[in-house]
Amino acid sequence: MKEKPSKSYLYEHVARIGKSLSSPKRLELVELLAQGEKSVETLAAQAGIDMRLTSAHLKALREARLVETRREGKYVHYRLSGPDVSQLWVSLRDVAEEHLVEFRLALAQMVSDPDSLCSESRESLLQKARQGEVFVIDVRPPSEYNAGHLPFARSMPLAELEKRLADLPSDRTIVAYCRGPFCLMSDEAVKILRARGFTASKITDGVNEWIASGLPIET
């Protein structure tokens, strides 16, 4: 009769997930992949590390079955193995925010202008966007927008924003968002818009925070 696995054996496998996420850069790669499938080259550029180190981190995540790959010619594309992986990242960050004072202070300091934060709740923002009372823009790259975005959001990549100001309404508040609380693209977007005379604010949510709250996204 086959021997039953011990509790230690089970804990060991759960620990594999924790070990694979024990690197700050691996967490950053998970957050980037939560925005959609990306090549190794794109991940290396966005995370600011070289290709070899990126590949090593991705190998560790793949061994824990947190990411999957797809080959297209000479390029290898990575994606999260399931939406639960991105929600695990959100949950980890929420626990850090709840229990680590240092984390909360650092997160607060990242917001260069606290007055730029939108005061609307998620549900209120969704309702106002649906009714056309606010204009929501997604300032991430187009590929990330196409993978999933907030309802009623318009794709307005940060790199194109100044060239597309004419596409924005001047009679409504513009609300920008990007990848989540650690992402600064929405801060830069608000600065640009306010300097051009627009009424603008930002939310710290990204798509994954929206999903974690049980709210819909669009693709």
Instruction: Write down the catalytic residue from 66, 178, 183, 190.
Output: 178
The answer to whether residue 178 is catalytic is yes
Cα–Cα distance between 43 and 48 in angstroms, integer? 8
- Residues near 174 by beta carbon (within 8 Å), at least 6 away in sequence: 134, 135, 136, 137, 168, 193, 198, 199, 200, 201
Report which residue type is found at 186.
Answer: S
Cα–Cα distance between 45 and 7 in angstroms, integer? 41
User: Tokens 């229990």 correspond to what residue?
Assistant: 99
- Residues near 136 by beta carbon (within 8 Å), at least 6 away in sequence: 125, 129, 150, 152, 153, 154, 174, 175, 176, 177
Q: Which residues are catalytic?
A: 178
